[in-house]
């Protein structure tokens, strides 16, 4: 377990046979601080569905007032971005750790404050800083450990652009922004401030791997992967106290294989 650092982002969705986890906030778009001091809001069990229609995205929310969350699985509509996301079962099998689903969003969240300011993309790769204007559809969701403690999280994010030129520019900007930021202090919307160190791994024209390690975090880090697939830019982040390099790459490869681009 990493030491306390404040803040965090997760939201549980129990599977059949599992106990109700503790409350968790939204997906982590920059590396989340260590889990012990995360705020714990009340849980509202929702099934979030993305419907692609002629007018764009339509979101339908079904509260689980009459059906326990454990008996109310996510409803996935074929052909949507949500269908490209690996399910909690798929992720659990891939990483060897049981995870449960949480919250999701259909647009990039606001940018996070970075010091130095040139590191804004590194501290918030899945915010509006990373997914700049021009995307046609966007989806991001975070899974967490079955205990609901936030000790292990998996975030999948995808943005689809109008053409391959736009998506390629977004991916190249991401790679350049990460490579140009060895360390930065991040301030989130709750005014939590944490210093992170960034290390770039393997990089190609369509793949990027990097690690965001919390300074003095006792090993707490987010292992990140990005993929360029046609008009789509997707990201995977696994945050834990161990080494999630291989697991993040495995999830990113499976995620990219499902994306038509």
pLDDT greater than 90 at residue 240: yes
pTM exceeds 0.75 for this model: no
**Residue 185 in this model has a pLDDT that exceeds 70:** yes
The number of residues in the chain equals: 261
The helix/strand/coil state of 14 is coil
Torsions phi, psi of 100, nearest 5?
A: -125, 155
Nearest-angstrom CA–CA distance, 237 and 244: 9
Instruction: Identify the pLDDT of residue 219.
Output: 86
pLDDT of residue 221: 96
Of the chain, the percentage scoring pLDDT greater than 70 comes to 69
- Give the pair of three-digit tokens for residue 113: 């404050």
Distance CA 119, CA 192 (A): 17
The per-residue pLDDT for 16 is 35
Mean pLDDT of the chain: 77
Average of per-residue pLDDT across 229-252: 96
CATH architecture of 35-258: 3-Layer(aba) Sandwich (3.40)
Start-to-end CA distance of the chain, whole Å, equals: 38
pLDDT of residue 84: 85
Report the pLDDT value the prediction gives residue 125, as an integer from 0 to 100: 97
Q: How many CB atoms lie within 10 A of CB 47?
A: 18
How far is it, in rounded angstroms, from Cα 200 to Cα 181? 10
| Residue 260 φ/ψ, nearest 5 degrees | -75, -25
Cα distances (angstroms) measured from residue 25 to each of 12, 34, 35, 205, 217: 9, 13, 11, 34, 20
Query: Residue 47 has what pLDDT?
Result: 32
Give the residue-averaged pLDDT of 230-242.
Answer: 96
CA distances from 201 to 28, 46, 124, 178 (A): 21, 37, 18, 11
CA dist., res. 130 & res. 149, Å (int): 28
pLDDT at 149 over 90: no
Cβ count within 10 A of residue 113: 17
Q: Residue 121: what pLDDT?
A: 96
**Mean pLDDT calculated for residue range 18-30:** 46
Main-chain phi, psi angles of 252, to 5 degrees: -60, -40
3-state secondary structure of 232: strand
Closest CA to 125 of 90, 168, 176: 176
């Amino acid at each position: 377990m990493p030491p306390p650092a404040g803040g965090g982002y997760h939201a549980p969705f129990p599977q059949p046979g599992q106990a109700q986890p503790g409350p968790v906030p939204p997906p982590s778009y920059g590396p989340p601080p260590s889990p012990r001091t995360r705020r714990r809001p009340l849980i509202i069990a929702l099934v979030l569905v993305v419907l692609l229609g002629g007018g764009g995205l339509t979101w339908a929310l079904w509260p689980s007032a009459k059906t326990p969350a454990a008996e109310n699985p996510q409803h996935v509509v074929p052909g949507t971005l949500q269908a490209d996301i690996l399910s909690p079962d798929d992720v659990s099998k891939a990483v060897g750790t049981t995870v449960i689903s949480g919250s999701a969003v259909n647009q990039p969240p606001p940018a996070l404050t970075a010091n130095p300011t040139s590191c804004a993309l590194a501290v918030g790769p899945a915010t509006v800083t990373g997914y700049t204007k021009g995307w046609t559809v966007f989806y991001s969701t975070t899974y967490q450990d079955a205990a609901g403690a936030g000790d292990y999280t998996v975030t999948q994010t995808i943005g689809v652009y109008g053409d391959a030129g736009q998506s390629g520019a977004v991916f190249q900007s991401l790679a350049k922004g990460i490579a140009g930021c060895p360390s930065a202090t991040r301030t989130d919307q709750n005014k939590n401030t944490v210093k992170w160190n960034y290390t770039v791994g393997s990089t190609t024209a369509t793949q990027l791997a990097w690690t965001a390690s919390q300074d003095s975090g006792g090993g707490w880090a987010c292992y990140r992967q990005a993929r360029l697939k046609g008009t789509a830019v997707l990201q995977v982040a696994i945050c834990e106290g161990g080494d999630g390099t291989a697991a993040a790459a495995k999830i990113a490869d499976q995620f990219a294989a499902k994306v038509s681009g």
